[in-house]
Amino acid sequence: MEVDITTNNFTIQCNATGQPIPKFKWYKDEMEITADISHKYIGDSITVSQLLRKRLQPSDSGIYRCVATNDGGIDGANTTVIIQGQC
């Protein structure tokens, strides 16, 4: 999992491989996130999912989890994001 923080925004990227192509879900503090998500198949069985958060606030701090599933199983990764002060 990769996190990129720019001025007032951050993007978390999650990569998965598999056939059939994995489906992704994103969670923040165990609550599913359904907005600001994009998925992209980049070939060689690699799929990328990105979560973009804009206009950061301290309330955006938390544990973010990406979960990829397909017929072969399920896998996931966590990252902790801490937003300090005013953004």
Question: Mean pLDDT across the chain, nearest whole number?
Answer: 83
Q: Are 76 and 24 in contact (CB under 8 A)?
A: no
What structural domains does the chain harbor?
A: 2-81 (2.60.40.10)
Q: Percent of the chain, pLDDT > 70?
A: 79
Q: Are 33 and 81 in contact (CB under 8 A)?
A: no
pTM score = 0.81
Q: Are 78 and 65 in contact (CB under 8 A)?
A: yes
Q: Percent of the chain, pLDDT > 90?
A: 32
- Distance CA(40)–CA(22), nearest Å, equals 11
Instruction: Report pLDDT digits (tens) over 64-80.
Output: 999 999 999 999 999 99
